[in-house]
Amino acid sequence: MKKILLYGLSTLGLLFGVSCSDLLEEESYTEVGKGNYVNNAAEAETVLMGIYKDLSNEYLYSYHLSLLFTISSDIAQCEGNSTTSFREIPTNSHNPSTQQIMQTWQKLYSSIYDANDFIETVSSRLDDWNSSNRELATIYLGEARALRALFYFELVRWYGNVVLVKSTAESNIPATEYVQSDPKDVYAFIEEDLKYASEVLPWAVDDTKRSSNAYRFSKGAALGLLAKVYCTWAGYPVRDESKWAEAAKVARQVVESGKHRLNPDYETVWSNTCNGIWDAGESLIEVSFYSPTSLDSDQTAGRIGKWNGVVADAVEGQRGRNAGNWKVVYTFTREWETHDDPRMALSIADYKYDSSKGDGPVTYFSTVSSPSEDNYNKQRQLFTPAKWDTEKYVNSANYMVNNDKSCINWYILRYSDVLLLFAEALNESGGSIVDAVDAVNAVRRRGFGDTLHDLSYALSQEELREAIRKERAYELCFEGHRKQDLIRWGIYYTTIRNTAQELVNWFTNANYAVARFTVEGRHELLPIPQRDLDLMTKCKQNPGWGE
């Protein structure tokens, strides 16, 4: 994503208790003096880049939506066994007043305002522009509507019963007048936006209109996201099972288009995203971070690789410190290692970097001074994700920023995800089992490098369902999908409980703090932020979080 220049900033000037909630109190990156700007497609594109920049915000994919909110599952957990500091949300010990929950809620709404503002402004001027400007601006409108759909998708699947704000005018009503929409209506609005986007946007590989489409929405991205939306809509809590067939239909468009493909080398997927290399075949939606030297008001960086990467100590002038706050749940490692899957070594790090022991990796087992099964088990709990290994993948020009953040990108949607969603939707809707198995096997063949590990066409629906769910864990582990997968499948609570028991059976002293706090019927959704709920008097708190 090219560096974004902001043409003027202003606050919305809308405050709870006056005309609007604090959920729209953020600075708007698209308020640019409408009377004197957005007079052609080029100026519209500049403003559009401001909406894209929202994706890299700390409260969205720089930290909260990529890492903090997504961690607690059967495959990953936060380090330690306490609930202090950043561990509150990862251990499910948060409450309606937890700051990060409010921050993401507000940032998503301010980003929706940015998108609404852009859509209204550009739409009102299309008729005054020449044909070439209209053609480009229509593409930009598709991008803005796809972005708005993504923001609403995150809102509805994390917060459930949200306020649907379709225009900037609706942002100006008193907070006391806000009412929550039924989630199915929010999904319908998302569907409308993504259908429009998929109609007007070109395939990434065919795009001759935009000067650059790297890290921007394309037809494939809109269709792929719509497939994911349908699969979520079909699951908990809405459970509209008619959407399985819709998911299969739109995913098939992507699969049969020939416009996307799996990168033949799984490891290259990670070296690419760690170094800002855009692969339009594999990557459908990817957040780009672009600050090679230091942080300032025009640059962004994320916590990718620092928070969820391989542990590395600080060596001045050589490397920044990687805290390795994500830990792999060892029962996942133990189960996966029985499959002889090459992806495991590229996904799970049983090593760290310790400058006192040289530049190379040091296995955790080698640090045990008093060998015993208990001591080895303690080390097994320290394994981290390996996909964002800064020491292995990141070149010196794209290294740590301020010894704290990184320029490593974040995949929101990969082609392998679409293939697995396609298979799942076919299986759940009674579609072609052959096509479903072929889609899963395409992912497995890339992973294993052979056809010896193909699934059988003779699997029952339940057997294929279980195989797809496991394959999603293997292929997409630690990429922010697992928790939401478990939620939409309606098995989040039972999976947490079962994992806790499996860990105790393995090692009595195993850490798994999330099991102590997870409550069925509560932790499938985040609470509505209490500060906003107190002002939105017509709105109700989510189930399990009190009135």
Place 13 in a pLDDT band, splitting at 50, 70 and 90.
very low
Average pLDDT over every residue of 72-88: 93
Confidence at residue 299, expressed as pLDDT on a 0 to 100 scale: 60
288 in a domain, yes or no? no
Confidence of residue 33 (pLDDT cuts 50, 70, 90): low
pLDDT tens, position by position, 161-218: 999 999 999 998 999 999 999 999 999 999 999 999 999 999 999 999 999 999 999 9
Alpha-carbon distance of 87 to 225, in angstroms, equals 30
Q: Cα–Cα distance between 110 and 205 in angstroms, integer?
A: 32
% pLDDT > 90, the chain: 81
Q: Which of 172-186, 384-398, 409-423 has the lowest mean pLDDT?
A: 384-398
Q: Residue 475 and residue 442: Cα distance in Å, rounded?
A: 12
Does some domain include residue 35? yes
* 190 lies in some domain: yes
Contact 326, 347 (CB under 8 A): no
Contact assessment for residue 20 and residue 106, using Cβ atoms and an 8 Å cutoff: no
Mean pLDDT for the stretch of residues 444-451: 98
Q: Over range 318-328, report the average pLDDT.
A: 81
Q: Is residue 302 part of a domain?
A: no
- Amino acid 15: pLDDT: 24
Task: Decide if 234 contacts 428 (C-beta within 8 A).
Answer: yes
Q: Is residue 508 part of a domain?
A: no
Q: Which domain holds residue 158?
A: 1-75+96-200+520-547
Nearest-CA neighbor of 350 among 314, 318, 319, 324?
324
The pLDDT value given to residue 323: 87
**CA–CA separation, 534 and 546 (whole Å):** 13
| Residue % of the chain over a pLDDT of 70 | 89
Number of domains in the chain: 1
Residue 118 maps to a domain: yes
Residue 513 has pLDDT above 60, yes or no: yes
Asked whether 530 and 99 are in contact (CB, 8 A), the reply is no
By the 8 A CB rule, do 70 and 473 touch? no
Task: Tell me the mean pLDDT in the region 489-498.
Answer: 99
Q: Which of 285, 384, 299 shows the shortest CA–CA distance to 333?
A: 384
- Asked if the model's pLDDT at residue 404 lies above 80, the reply is no
Overall residue count recorded for the chain in this entry: 547
Instruction: Report the run of H or E that residue 142 belongs to, with start and end.
Output: helix 131-159
Question: Residues of 276-307 as b/e, b for ≥16 C-beta within 10 angstroms?
Answer: bebbbebbbbbbbbbbeeeeeeebbbbbbbbb
264 domain residue, yes or no: no
Residue in 500, 541, 540 with CA at minimum distance from that of residue 517: 500
The confidence score (pLDDT) of residue 80 equals 86
Contact yes or no for 403/314 (Cβ under 8 A): yes
List Cβ<8 Å contacts ≥24 apart for 289-294: 289/56, 289/62, 289/405, 289/406, 289/407, 289/408, 289/409, 289/410, 290/1, 290/3, 290/407, 291/401, 291/405, 291/407, 292/397, 292/398, 292/401, 292/407, 293/401, 294/401, 294/402
pLDDT higher than 90, residue 44: yes
Q: Is residue 294 predicted with pLDDT exceeding 60? A: no
Q: What is the CATH number of the domain that holds 103?
A: 1.25.40.890
More confident residue, 366 or 235: 235
Closest residue by Cα to residue 490 from 236, 310, 308: 236
Q: How far apart are CA 85 and CA 83, in angstroms?
A: 7
Predicted pLDDT of residue 464: 99
CA 253 to chain centre: 22
Q: How high is the mean pLDDT of the chain? A: 90
Cα(480)–Cα(72) distance, integer angstroms:
10
Please give the residue that has the higher pLDDT: either 272 or 291: 272
* Residue 169, in any domain of the structure: yes
